[in-house]
Structure formats: structure tokens, C-alpha cells
Amino acid sequence: MKFFVDTADVAEIRDLADAGLLDGVTTNPSLIAKSGRAFKEVIAEICKIVEGPVSAEVTALDFAGMIREGNDLRKIAKNVTVKVPLTIDGLKACKALRADGAMVNVTLCFSANQALLAAKAGASFISPFVGRLDDIHMEGMNLISEIRKIYDNYGFDTEILVASVRTANHIKQAALIGADVVTAPPAVLKGLAKHPLTDKGIEMFLADWKKTGQTIL
């Protein structure tokens, strides 16, 4: 499974990249606004840190506007992935941009039918939002299972990019289902390494080592 981080915080991205944990980055207008920096400047800096796909979202809602913005975003770096909403105009833009060689992430997916349409439009990635479904008392991971089954039935190349991830358990469940990618906030990705028994083990080893009176260096 590929790990993307869902943030526009360059320091966090660099930290995860240095640990070898990062395959890509997803951003959105809300995350860019939170950074307080210029949109294109942030995307350009992220693309220099991460070799994998970096999703940059259009803000236009019409086909022509998405194409103009998408083509402009592609000029920032070769690894920019144009992010479009799952609407009819978004699907049209996806098809056109993909035909021109761009990577496209179709976002805000909440149903298997929507995911099927995105794959038909040739999307590089489909982003189903599991956490937001959980918020309205639906099982977000059930959607991932449905999409995996449909894509496998027909051999679609579109990668399932599990988004709106809130917990380490979301990541584990996505991996068990066979999702291609998961994108999560930095704290959730780093939290995967945490376990109370690991902490207890380290504490015990250090206590025993101290008793020896030795040092490694």
C-alpha cells in the first residue's frame, strides 16, 4: 500500500519523507488556506520534496474552468496530479486531462456508482471519503470494499486512494481490503508506529542496560 500524507505543512512532509514513509501528498483548498501561504508556491515546494504524485485541486466548477486551471497547475511540476470534484463536469475534465497525459485525482467520492464513473473517465486515482461517511453513521470502509470488488471485476487501472482517514484502524482496514493508497494527516501516519508494549519494552531494555554500567560509545 502507498502512503500519501494529507497536508500542506512542508515541515511535516519533509519529516515523513526523510523517514521513507511517503509515496505522495494530497492537498485541498482548506489545507492550503491553513498554511497561510501562496497556493502555487506551496505546491512547488512540496513537489521538490516528494517524487510521487502531489494532488493540487482546481477551484473552478465548470468544465472549461477546470481545464484552464488544471493545465496551469500541471506547469508547476511533472508530479502534480490535478484534483477534480466528482461531478459531470469534473468527469469530463478528467477524461480530457488524462487524454493529454495528466494524472487526475477524482475527489469527494461517496458511492460505488460514483467510483465506477470515475474509472470509466480514466481517473488515475479515486478518493472515497471514509471518515465523512462514518460521521453520518454509514460504514465508510464498506464503500472501499465495494469499489475494490467493482474495479477487480472489470480490470480498471484507477487506484483507490482512501481519504478522510481519521484513525490507524482506517489504514489497517484499507490495507486488508486491498486499497492501493491511503492518505492521512501526519499525526495518523506517525501514530502507526506507536504501541504501549513497544514503549514498555524500550523502557525495560534501557533499565537493564543501565544496570550494566556500559556505554556503546
Clarify whether 200 is annotated catalytic: no
Q: Which three cell numbers, joined as nine digits, stand for 26?
A: 494530497
Q: Distance between CA 16 and CA 21 in Å, rounded?
A: 6
* SS3 (DSSP) at 75: coil
Q: Are 72 and 40 in contact (CB under 8 A)?
A: no
Catalytic pick from 2, 34, 83, 211?
83
**What are the φ/ψ torsions at residue 179 (nearest 5 degrees)?**
-65, 150
* SS3 (DSSP) at 170: helix
Q: Which three cell numbers, joined as nine digits, stand for 147?
A: 469499489
Q: Are 81 and 55 in contact (CB under 8 A)?
A: yes
* SS3 (DSSP) at 194: coil
Q: Distance between CA 159 and CA 147 in Å, rounded?
A: 10
Q: Are 135 and 141 in contact (CB under 8 A)?
A: no
Q: Are 10 and 49 in contact (CB under 8 A)?
A: yes
Which residues are known to be catalytic? 83
